[in-house]
Chains A and B, each alone.
Chain A
Amino acid sequence: MEKRHDYVLWFEECDLESIPIVGGKNASLGELLKANIPVPPGFAVTTKAYNLFLEQGNIKKEIFKILKGIKADDVESGKKASIAIRALIESTNVSDDLQDYIGEFYRRLSKKCNVPAVPVAVRSSATAEDLPGASFAGQQDTFLWIRGVDDIFKHVKKCWSSLFTARAIYYRAKMGFDHELVEISVGVQKMANAWTAGVMFTLNPATGDRSTIAIDANFGFGESVVSGECTPDNFIINKITDEIIKKSISHKTILYTRDPESHCVVKQNVPDERTDIQCVVDKDAIALAKIGKRIEEHYGKPMDIEWAIDKDTPGKAKIMILQSRPETVWSSKKVEPVMKARSSALAHICAGLVAGKKVN
């Protein structure tokens, strides 16, 4: 078992120190788990696995031979190289021991989730992500609703090959990064099979009030909330006391869910009996807000978070955080004092009295 640590790691085993072998995305999932923030379970296929694959398949030399052939100023030659390299990677078999490691982890993940051949997201996690200006990282692919070991291998390879998109090759060439030094890890993560989902801001997006957590929620996947196609239920929760200050239950008409046959995401009408029902119970909204507060503490700034309440995962872990990024609208505003500074409380009191209180 000692060797598997080189090739596959549970997210729980990843942290910032493991960025060189699991990439930024997987490492940050590990960090979130360490901060007690629930994310859908999964594992990282390390950069060592990628290297092993290149070596065992005897394709490393060939790849770098193709890369040597391109000219920095010739976009066309880069495109050709990309197609050739990607085809090469995707058609090469994953060696048996690597198949064992990944396959075993996938089976254990399915067992953990109580779902046979659990649908997962397979996404690349580049080690160069943190390089300044290395925005090509975002070009790498994410594949959703992947099921079964064979499809996992197929899409892991697709992620590996995404290191060699024409754009990535061009970018590295231009910036003078060594192709050989760039490595890639892949994350395999359970798809959140959301009963309800939505977004959460760790401030009030309407007022910028930082003592508030605002949650928008609808049945099904978060798409209906993110896209604004549906008026979601809204919760305003006091971040300090974890009390619900205000909640608005909306008439919810549509939801996104997964078609059980095609595994594609489909839009449906919300069943009549559920349209006007609160889609997240108070207790879960409060639990969610507490997680939001932890995420904010973890990153040290107001955050914009996508979350889901999962149908499959048993036990406490049912609330899941899918994405979190710094809030931008209020956070980029120039910070002005709430009230002009004054020499004493009395000066404030006097100014306050003179201004009076607007009844409207």
Chain B
Amino acid sequence: MAENKFPSPHEIEAIPGTEGWERMYPYHYLFTTKDKERKEYEENAFWFNDALHYPEPMYPFDIIWDEAWFLALSQFNTRIFMIPPALGIDHRIINGNVYITPVPVTDPEEVQKRIPLFMERAGYYYENWDKLHDQWEGKMKGIITEIESLEIAPLPDMEDISVVKNGLGTSSGYELLKNYDKLIDLGILCWQYHFEFLNLGYASYVTFVDFCTKAFPDIPLQKITQMVAGIDVILYRPDDELKKLAKLAIELGIDSQIGDDSKDVEVVISELSGSENGKKWIGAWDEAKNPWFNISTGTGWYHQDVSWNDNLNVPLSSLRIYIEKLKEGKSIDRPMEAIKAERKKLIKEYRGLLKTDEDRQTFDQLHGTSELVFPYVENHMFYVEHWFHSVFWNKMRNVASIMVEHQFIKDTEDVWYLSRSEIKEALWDLVTAWATGTKGYGPLHWPEEIEWRKGVYQKFKENRPTPAVGTPPEVIAEPFTIVLWGITNDSMAAWAKLKEIGDPDKVNEMEGFAGSPGVVEGIARVCRSVEDIGELKEGEILVAPTTSPSWAPVFQKIKAVVTDVGGIMCHAAIVCREYGMPAVVGTGQGTAIIKSGMKIKVNGDTGKINIER
């Protein structure tokens, strides 16, 4: 690891024209040289750019989820489950990009002290997993119902008479402040629940991975994942719903009315409502919307990641791909039986190759636990990042439109350039002015500030962040760091190598994780977001920053995938394994180096990509 040199976090300079950017983010996210102790801590830690969650720089508002998981993940490691060697994950921001570092317990005695505590606390969760998990699902559905029914109402010129007659004693202004707080609080709460199981889920998975790689040094990580992955994963449901709807359309003979992408969803629906079969189909379509169309077209982490429900043309377009496939006589179903059989075979044969009874016992223990926890690891995302977030962003848009109405901001989409605490302050400004019957100060302050921030953000976007800063560690104990970011010597070395080459036009080989096996050669198509997928042609290789479940239909069209971010468990890797097509994920800079139209060779066995120049 010593050969991989990364800059000191304090060396990174502001991009010209963005000076003062720091005020867009929480003050404690900044690297500092003011205090010697803090400076040394920052220099000696290894901070890597969390490009998995944030392929783009942070909007001041969107950092809410970063703060939420900063707290939630860390508290479960440090204070709740007492993970013996690992505390939380610390966060910083440089030029709009989030950098994180796992914080170890450095005192060996302290580690020992934490062991019995961990055994008791984690043990309780593992032992009562199903019961607690059911309870979790209830809690999640509860807060989703709460946020869905949360009303963010505009401020009236005069309060309704009912306020008087009911003796309400509060105003709409107060309600707005209260409900904004409630909205933010539900978001933070949702992220508390998000990590209730995840830390333990990953810890269990990491231990199984560790055993398998010790017993079988050559075992590809994806085979281990296949041995524990769920078959019936909620994240596939939205896509499955589309497949069902495609079949139903053909069955009812209304597929031709669905037309092609030149036909807007509203036109399609209004035409279909003219016939009996059309109405039947609309019924099924409407039923699928809640909750399944709350799937985000992105990762759900950014406000711009609209859900299918936000833009019904997105699922409709995907549905058309399925209809087309069905009409060509092709199967669109996931090969479930084959997946199950493959999984069974892997478990049986790897177990069969173990040499001792002790090993078989350990295998059974760890495989059993991993299998128990893994569905949560796979499924929680639908509840949190997709369903909850999709509702949340739209509630925030309600807040924003009130701010637009009062001229605090010019456009609802400007609200993301304010942090959540700035919005709270602005709402106080707005509400007190409304209450007082004066003009708020906001309209004089925020539009100008937002213009400046937009410029800064644009410059952040044009800048390619350094993958890591600080001093690489020798050992990582934090389960998330190991699994999620796939932070390994190899990937870091590969990134450092790319950096040395410098000129992206000269790179002809790059490396990532072997996400799904197979070797394929073909024409690359770079899609920066799900909106670009219309450009994909049959048989091309998709090159994307990352993919999410709403990209699912494109996997029917392409023959391999390359992503910038993601480990073995990322969406692209999971889906490619299902479809049996090669994937190389976590290449670091795939979309920067590969251009649409280039001929590339994707080797999902080795994780290598060759670019023909």
Contacts and interface: CB of A to CB of B under 8 A. Distances in A.
Interface of A: 204, 207, 209-212, 236, 238-241, 243-247, 282, 335-342, 344-350, 352-360
B365 A345 contact: yes
Contacts of B477: 353-357
Interface in B465-502: 472-477, 479, 482, 487-489
A324 B86 CA distance: 50
Contact of B359 (A338, A344, A353, A360): A338
Contacts of A352: 203, 206-207, 210
B483 to A, nearest CB: 10
Contacts of A340: 358
A245 B362 contact: no
A211 to B, nearest CB: 4
- The residue in B118, B206, B362 that gathers the most chain A C-beta atoms within 10 A of its C-beta is B362
Given A339-B214, A359-B1, 4 more contacts: A336-B356, A342-B365, A346-B369, A350-B118
A359 B475 contact: yes
B115 A350 contact: yes
B283 interface: no
A344 B475 contact: no
Contacts of B361: 341
Contacts of A210: 216, 353, 355
A345 B366 contact: yes
A238 B345 CA distance: 13
B307 interface: no
Contacts of B346: 240-241
Contacts of A355: 477
Nearest to B518: A243
Interface in B75-132: 83-86, 104, 111, 115, 118-119, 122-123, 126
A356 B85 contact: yes
Contacts of A356: 85, 104, 475-477
Contacts of B474: 358-360
B88 to A, nearest CB: 14
A236 B216 CA distance: 13
A52 B220 CA distance: 59
A214 to B, nearest CB: 9
Given A246-B606, A356-B477, A349 B359 contact: no
Which 8 A-B residue pairs are closest in the complex by CB-CB distance?
A356-B477, A337-B358, A345-B369, A341-B358, A352-B207, A345-B365, A356-B475, A207-B217
A357 B487 CA distance: 11
Contacts of A357: 206, 210, 475-477, 482
Interface of B: 1, 83-86, 104, 111, 115, 118-119, 122-123, 126, 203-204, 206-207, 210-211, 214-220, 223, 345-346, 349-350, 353-356, 358-359, 361-362, 365-366, 368-369, 472-477, 479, 482, 487-489, 517, 519, 605-606
Given A346-B122, A354-B84, A209 B218 contact: yes
A207 B366 contact: no
A83 B216 CA distance: 55
Contacts of B115: 350, 354
B519 to A, nearest CB: 8
A204 B353 CA distance: 13
B103 to A, nearest CB: 13
B123 A346 contact: yes
Contact of A240 (B204, B206, B349, B354): B349
Contacts of B369: 345-346, 349
A228 B86 CA distance: 48
B223 A238 contact: yes
B479 A337 contact: no
Contacts of A359: 1, 472-476, 487-489
A240 B211 contact: no
B362 A349 contact: no
Contact of B220 (A245, A342, A358): A245
A344 B218 contact: no
B126 A345 contact: yes
Contacts of B86: 353
B289 to A, nearest CB: 39
A169 B1 CA distance: 65
B254 to A, nearest CB: 43
Contacts of A335: 355-356
Nearest to A343: B365
B211 A339 contact: yes
B362 A341 contact: yes
A345 B123 CA distance: 10
19 contacts: A204-B217, A209-B219, A212-B216, A238-B218, A238-B219, A240-B346, A247-B605, A339-B359, A341-B358, A346-B123, A349-B366, A352-B207, A353-B479, A354-B84, A356-B104, A356-B475, A358-B474, A358-B475, A360-B1
A121 B364 CA distance: 50
A247 B605 CA distance: 9
Nearest to B605: A244
Contacts of B104: 356
Given A353-B479, A360-B474, A338 B488 contact: no
Contact of B218 (A212, A339, A350): A212
A327 B216 CA distance: 18
A176 to B, nearest CB: 41
A326 to B, nearest CB: 15
Contacts of A241: 223, 346, 517
Contact of B119 (A341, A346, A358): A346
Contacts of A282: 519
A355 B115 CA distance: 12
A204 to B, nearest CB: 6
A286 to B, nearest CB: 11
A204 B479 CA distance: 29
Nearest to A335: B355
A211 B353 contact: yes
A236 to B, nearest CB: 6
Given A238-B220, A357-B482, A359-B474, A349 B204 contact: yes
Contacts of B482: 357
Given A245-B220, A354-B477, A356-B475, A345 B210 contact: no
A241 B83 CA distance: 36
Given A240-B350, A339-B359, A344-B365, A353 B220 contact: no
A44 to B, nearest CB: 35
Contacts of B487: 359
- The residue in A282, A342, A346, A358 that gathers the most chain B C-beta atoms within 10 A of its C-beta is A346
Contacts of B219: 209, 211, 238
Contact of B85 (A246, A247, A353): A353
A348 B218 contact: no
B470 to A, nearest CB: 13
B584 to A, nearest CB: 14
Nearest to A204: B218
A207 B214 CA distance: 10
B223 A348 contact: no
Nearest to A282: B519
B359 A245 contact: no
A2 B606 CA distance: 57
B1 A353 contact: no
A196 to B, nearest CB: 20
A340 B214 CA distance: 12
A349 B86 CA distance: 13
Contacts of A209: 216-219
Contacts of B345: 240
Contacts of A245: 218, 220, 605-606
A246 B355 CA distance: 24
- The residue in A204, A240, A247, A360 that gathers the most chain B C-beta atoms within 10 A of its C-beta is A240
